[in-house]
Structure 1
Amino acid sequence: MSEYILSSQEGAVLTLSLNRPDKYNAFVREMALALQAELARAQEDSKIRAVILTGIGKAFCAGQDLAEATDPNGPELTKIVTEHYNPIIEAIRALEKPVVVAVNGVAAGAGANIALACDIVIASEAASFIQAFSKIGLIPDSGGTYTLPRLVGLQRASALMMLGDKVSATDALDMGMIYKVVAAEDLMPVAQKVAGQLSQMPTLALARTKALLNASYQNDLKSQLALEDQYQTECGQSYDYREGTAAFLEKRKPEFKGE
């Protein structure tokens, strides 16, 4: 357990909070590895059916702590990318539970791209998103060159990455980068409500939906249809499908188990 990642669970919802507020939640190695460990735990624990990711303090995440990156005795950039950020992005996308991110303040560099890798992005009115890499002579990492163009289009992604413009939460919503913007005081209640709703839904179906969205980036239509058929058959054999259809026919609220 690391002091840099706060973990709490209410019901079936696990909340993970980045906790270096004095450094705007910028990542160091210990923090990155701790987040990886918590995401792995969320995958393995069947009692966890949804995850919230947020930040403590004024910022969501300022990306990489440059003091660590430039320390002669610290990890090299290659190690930071391949051992810190890539595993986090892969874990979020592979996690068979929905990940809701509550962006409470600035999300810059890797912080922005970690947020955009999550399934549902809810931002405070005080939040902003910055592809800050070009300002220090680097390229966008943490999957940004993969995710952002698919959210906002090639032209807009190119401009945001090359110019390093600061994007307000409202502008991010308007360009399709994120799902919802709420007042600062409503951020966590709304995120908790969304995650709570997801945690009571058919978890297998949500996991397979996420897997299909991941696969759609590479598949042609025929391959995607075949994968839909495979996963639909799997979901059709689940307890939650039987419960969902029974509840519909009996005109009652379903009680899904995530099985």
Structure 2
Amino acid sequence: MVDQTSKSQAVRQAGDHIARVVLPRASLDTAGKSWLLERLTTVGADPNIRVVVLTGEGRAFCVGQDLKEHAAALAGDPRTTFDTLAAHYEPIVSAITSMPKPVLAAINGTCVGAGLSFALACDLRIARAGAVFATAFTGIGLSFDSGLSATLARAVGYARASELIIRGDSFTAEQALAWGLVGEVVAAEEWDTAVDALATRLAHGPTQAYAAAKAALASGWGAPLPEVLHRERTDQIRLGSTEDHRGAVESFLAKQRPTFTGR
């Protein structure tokens, strides 16, 4: 899926309405964070793109903050060191979670710290066999950021999340699968094909229904039941007038496979 000979081309759009956002380096410096936020904002707003694949280069998905840059910031002015949370990390997570289309985290390798936060902000996660995960934050005397306090517990449960945060131990892709953190683990030799197949399936799916389901899951977590029911009813009425819904019902009655256009 990723052209290793063209690493500078970090956003790749395929013909089937798929945008691939490839992190240019494993650690996140200011330039990289700004670039990622800009790209996610751009592909999120593009109506021709129906699925976004977030992945990395080589052996790493993302290892979080560039600690050399972080150390220099601490040495310079500690009062502004963490301004990057509001300027970069939080908007990146918001861009992922708010875009009205699925975002697939294709975890090609090491995924720790804010990299894990970004992966958990995505709607689906597929990991390459051999990928290593860790929360990492407490190992450098910090708590967590980029939504990890909520998304990790939702993915693996409170008790497991507490263990992963407090102990800070690394874990494998197979453990991540067993705990529900990722949905699939794929052998290295099958990786490109598997990611492409899943992205293509999503790009050919009912985009508006995906968007509504994504927003409903986010708002429905912990919300009072009357609010949940009202949102579900509103979404169903709106989606009921889409071409995708009407066409899918007709296809079902005709015992045919539906074709979704995103409209």
Category of TM-score, reference length = shorter chain: over 0.9
Counterparts of 1:186 and 1:224, CA distance in 2:
40
**Distance (whole Å) between structure 1 residues aligned to residue 82 and residue 65 of structure 2:** 13
**Measured at CA, do residues 16 and 142 of structure 1 come closer, stay the same or move farther in structure 2, by a change above 3 Å?**
same
1-structure distance, mates of 2:86, 2:191: 32
Name the structure 1 match of 2:255: 251
Contact 1:122 1:181 in 2 (8 A): yes
Other structure's SS at 1:138 match: coil
Say which SS state the counterpart of residue 102 (structure 1) adopts.
strand
Q: CA deviation at 1:74?
A: 8.2
1:75-129 CA-to-partner distances (Å, cap 9, x unmatched) read: 9432121111111111111011101111111111001111111111100111121
Distance 1:9 1:232 in 2: 31
The aligned residue for residue 13 of structure 1 is: 18
SS at match of 1:53: strand
**After TM superposition, where is structure 1 displaced by more than 6 Å over at least 4 residues in a row?**
none
Note if 1:200 corresponds to 2:204.
yes
* Structure 1 residue 235: Cα displacement: 0.3
Q: State the distance in 1 between where 2:201 and 2:160 align.
A: 33
Taking the TM superposition and a 5 Å limit, the aligned residue runs for 1:90-239 are 90-239=94-243
Alpha-carbon deviations, 1:2-59, whole Å to 9, x = none?
x877010112111111112xxxx10011111111111111222111000111100111
- Matching residue of 1:50: 51
Taking a change above 3 Å as real, the CA distance of residues 188 and 77 of structure 1, as seen in their structure-2 partners, is farther
TM-score (norm 1): 0.93
Map of 2:62 onto structure 1: 61
2-side partners of 1:91 and 1:53: how far apart?
A: 12
- Report the AA paired with residue 252 of structure 2: F
Is the Cα contact below 8 Å between 1:5 and 1:31 reproduced in 2?
A: no
The 1-side partners of 2:133 and 2:89 are apart by 17
The aligned amino acid for 1:14 is A
Contact 2:45 2:99 in 1 (8 A): no
- Which amino acid in 2 is paired with 1:17? V
Partner-residue secondary structure (3-state), 1:51: strand
Paired residues of 2:63 and 2:113 also in contact (CA < 8 A):
yes
CA distance in 2, matches of 1:196, 1:41: 20
Q: How many residues align?
A: 253
CA shift, 1:218, in A, is: 3.5
Whole-Å Cα distance in 2 between the matches of residues 17 and 208 of structure 1?
Answer: 26
Tell me if 1:35 matches 2:36: yes
Output one character per residue of 1:180-221: Cα deviation in whole Å (capped at 9) or x when no partner.
Answer: 111022223211111110111110000000001101124112
Return closer, same or farther for 1:172/1:74 CA change in 2, 3 Å cut-off. Answer: farther
Secondary structure in 1 aligned to 2:228?
Answer: helix
Mapped partners of 1:231, 1:77: distance in 2: 42
Write out per-residue CA displacement over residues 104-163 of structure 1, whole angstroms, 9 at most, x where no aligned residue.
111110011111111111001111210101111111111110100111111111111111
Aligned-pair identity in percent equals 38
- Please tell me the root mean square deviation across aligned C-alpha atoms, in Å: 1.6
Residue 64 of structure 2 aligns to a residue whose secondary structure is coil
Equivalent residue of 2:115, what SS? Answer: helix
What secondary structure is seen at the aligned counterpart in 2 of 1:70? Answer: helix
